[in-house]
Copies of this chain bind each other. A is one copy, B any other.
Amino acid sequence: MPTSTFFRLPEERRERLVNEAIAEFSDRTYIEASLSQIARRARIPKGSVYQYFEDKLDLYRWLLTEEAPRRKREFLGAASQEGDFWTRLETQIERGMAFLVEHPRLARLSAAAADPTANVEVRGLHKAICEAGLVELRAVLEDGAASGALEAPDLNVATRLVATIIGPGLTDVVLQELGAELHEVLASDSLRKRLGPKRRRRLAQQAVLFIRSGLGSSRS
């Protein structure tokens, strides 16, 4: 956790540090990311950063478990309760895509938890975040099953498959749709505007259609 000094910082200085940290950790691995670089870019002496955080991991952990979720909640608001199960899922996916497009760095940062080559220092942290996401998604699918909208031979397997669809899968599709690579989207402010609500909705519909009905021909 950050020290009290950190929270007493002038907002401009604090924001500079946090934003540069998000930038660095969102396009490099935890190990690859450089605290020296963050400090340099934020124009804050490295010694000062160590007045605010215990060490590199402390900063990373706080970003991943506190700051990023806070900003994400702020953007997403409460989940919609309208419509049937599949409509709600579609809305949820569309909102997720909006977040990905408006705050790609935050989305990347959170997605890093699923990185399978995670170093031992962050493995526990990443796993906890991952599991929490899966539990949440599983609850959604259980709702669907309870309402009779959804059937799965093994809900654990189904949960994980759906998670990869709406996680890395949709990210991939969005990038293809933008005709750009991840690092370009992270760097550019204008690129992401090209994926407006209309196209997002269309992609969300396709994703839900896939999850709901698969690719099997009606004839088969």
Known pairs A32-B31, A148-B219, A148-B220; A171 contacts B214 (CB<8 A): no
Chain B proximity of A205: nearest CB distance (Å): 9
Q: How far is the CB of A79 from chain B (nearest CB, A)?
A: 19
Q: Is the CB of A164 within 8 A of B169?
A: yes
Instruction: Kindly list chain B residues whose C-beta atoms are within 8 Å of the C-beta of A144.
Output: 215
- Residues of the B chain whose Cβ atoms lie less than 8 Å from the Cβ of A115: 115, 117
Encoded as 1 (CB less than 8 Å from any B CB) or 0, chain A from 159 to 178 comes to: 01111110011011100100
Q: Does A63 contact B (CB under 8 A)?
A: no
List A residues 100-148 near B (Cβ within 8 Å): 108, 111-112, 114-117, 119-120, 123, 127, 141, 144, 148
Q: Does A191 contact B (CB under 8 A)?
A: no
Is A151 an interface residue when CB atoms closer than 8 A count as contact?
A: yes
- Are A116 and B161 in contact, with the CB atoms below 8 A? no
A207 at interface, CB cutoff 8 A = yes
Cβ of A203 < 8 Å from any Cβ of B?
yes
- Cα A213 to Cα B169 in complex, Å, equals 18
Interface status of A216 (Cβ within 8 A of chain B)? yes
- The reply to whether the CB of A77 lies closer than 8 angstroms to some CB of chain B is no
Is the C-beta of A9 less than 8 angstroms from some C-beta in chain B? Answer: no
- Asked if A217 and B149 sit within 8 Å, CB to CB, the answer is yes
Q: Give the shortest distance, in Å, between A101 (CB) and chain B (any CB).
A: 15
Question: In the complex, which residues of chain B have a beta carbon less than 8 angstroms from the beta carbon of A219?
Answer: 148
> In this assembly, does A190 line the interface, its C-beta being within 8 Å of a C-beta of chain B?
no
Give A45-66 as 1s and 0s: 1 = Cβ < 8 Å from B's Cβ atoms. Answer: 0000000000000000000000
> With the chains together, A139 CA to B176 CA distance in Å?
18
When chains A and B are docked, how far (Å) is the Cα of A160 from the Cα of B171? 10
Going nearest first, the 9 A-B pairs with the smallest beta carbon separation are A164-B169, A214-B214, A212-B216, A213-B214, A151-B217, A212-B214, A160-B172, A150-B215, A116-B182
